[in-house]
Structure 1
């Protein structure tokens, strides 16, 4: 999924935000670690739910998967809209400096 254009845009935006903070050494390591944890929490969460919930969890996870498949275009549009609004806001803020 790393080569997915949506994931590349989100990762590039996060990397840019981290670099723009000017973090070095320990702070940079913490920022990258937080990004990785936040980025992987849905996968880790699904694995934990599956391990703890058994057959009930499988049914729940299947419903969530079906919802995301059905609404993937809307989910992608909202995520990219929020990302674009954030980048636009950062750019406009930078113009005022």
Structure 2
């Protein structure tokens, strides 16, 4: 279990620093229906991560990926290459101004159920997140844990990966007035630097995955 959790940590960090959901959560916390909409968003983000990772754990277990270190290695290499490609593309476009997603302009009028659905899609369907969740699922499946061990690993990953969204939302429920200033500053910083931070992190995680994959494939 310890080695599996150790491998999951950088992947969870990669999901946690995804800038779009963090910015969306902050905008909701600064919006008209801050308390209710942000809770729906946080719940959808956490649920999306759980579902995405659980699906890949189930797929990995179905093909008995844990029984072959070679197959696990090649899968990790493939996922690492995908992350490298994504990271390089993001690095090349880091200085370009990206258009704000249309749904963000409607955040002020958004309701909890809509926020939940958007967060779920960002967590479970967004390509960058999906690759990281797939890598987490493969890592858990290849760990040959018990069913309860798989559940614990998925839960730990989901909690760690969702902290950047859940913690501000929970904090806002407790101390809304104090957090408005810091949240606004964080939003501005993320909007200015998110592409560079995310590109570097994805590249590092991709290289780590490839290295671990080569070790497993040749082992």
Shorter chain as denominator, the TM-score bin is 0.7 to 0.9
Q: Give the match for residue 145 of structure 2.
A: 23
Paired with 2:175 and 2:207, the residues of 1 have a C-alpha distance of 38
Aligned pairs (5 A) from 1:1-97: 1-2=122-123, 3-97=125-219
Give structure 1 stretches of 5+ with no counterpart: none
SS in 2 for 1:23: coil
C-alpha RMSD over aligned residues: 1.5
Paired with 2:217 and 2:133, the residues of 1 have a C-alpha distance of 24
Give structure 2 stretches of 5+ with no counterpart: 1-121
TM-score (normalizing by structure 1): 0.87
Paired with 1:63 and 1:49, the residues of 2 have a C-alpha distance of 16
Per the TM alignment, residue 95 of structure 1 is displaced from its structure 2 partner at its CA by 4.1
TM-score (normalizing by structure 2): 0.42
Q: How many equivalent pairs are there?
A: 97
